A and B are shown apart, each in its own frame.
Chain A
Amino acid sequence: QVQLQESGPGLVKPSGTLSLTCVVSGDSITNNWWSWTRQPPGKGLEWIGEIYHSGRANYSPSLKSRVTISMDKSKSHFSLNLSSVTAADTAVYYCARHVAVTGTRGFDIWGQGTMVTVSS
């Protein structure tokens, strides 16, 4: 059974850096693309970025200047760093696995999500 588990600080100060990790179990992290998505309280979903085991990463243009996604294959986890955060970055952050069927798109396995609040 594939499981994803996010972890990281639940509170980040304004102008600081939000850092989260997603641990993958039950699947090889080298089999798929992996994404981060967030959801502000009471609002919709926003894709942040994705990474492949080659190290190739792609980011949402609206966040690209502040986002870095990396992977540690030896620990079977990938990470999100979001710098210069403001209250607008307060959200539940989800990691997710991409569907492995060639030529299709979708995120088939999601972590439970972790709430991050930006506040002093």
Chain B
Amino acid sequence: DIVLTQSPGTLSLSPGERATLSCRASQTVSSSYLAWYQQKPGQAPRLLIYGGSIRPTGIPDRFSGSGSGTDFTLTISRLEPEDFAVYYCHCQQYTNSPPLYTFGPGTKVDIK
């Protein structure tokens, strides 16, 4: 089964700075099957990126996803106060039948 590892565990930054979050898979993942979520305390996760790099309607363009193979990145170009939260990557193992969905352990972005 695929294991997703996210780094760093915690990222301490100031508003206006650039955030780079990493998600590494234990085996090759189709970028089309890679998603990123933001979660704030007491709230459900919110989809930020799906299909590796596609932003759903309403997601600001400061959020971008990239990567391929086993290494994927979520970039927040300039942190806004509302961006301090936990971020999870998520993928489906498309080589398996039936499908299996896996979440990474999360990266917490907090205010420096």
Contacts and interface: CB of A to CB of B under 8 A. Distances in A.
A binds B: yes
19 contacts: A37-B103, A44-B105, A45-B45, A46-B103, A50-B99, A58-B99, A60-B100, A60-B101, A61-B100, A101-B51, A104-B50, A104-B54, A105-B32, A105-B33, A105-B51, A106-B47, A106-B50, A107-B37, A112-B43
B100 A44 contact: no
A68 to B, nearest CB: 15
Nearest to A60: B100
Contacts of A35: 101
B111 to A, nearest CB: 20
Interface of B: 1, 32-35, 37, 43-47, 49-51, 54, 56, 88, 90-92, 98-106
Interface in A15-57: 35, 37, 44-47, 50
A45 B47 CA distance: 13
Given A94-B44, A111-B44, A103 B101 contact: no
Contacts of B45: 45, 94, 107, 110
B3 to A, nearest CB: 12
Contacts of B56: 99, 108
A99 B59 CA distance: 15
Interface SS of A by simple majority: loop
B50 A101 contact: yes
B51 A103 contact: yes
Contact of A58 (B1, B32, B90, B98): B98
Contacts of A105: 32-35, 50-51, 90-92, 101
Nearest to B44: A110
Contacts of B47: 99, 106-108
Contacts of A107: 35, 37, 45, 47, 90
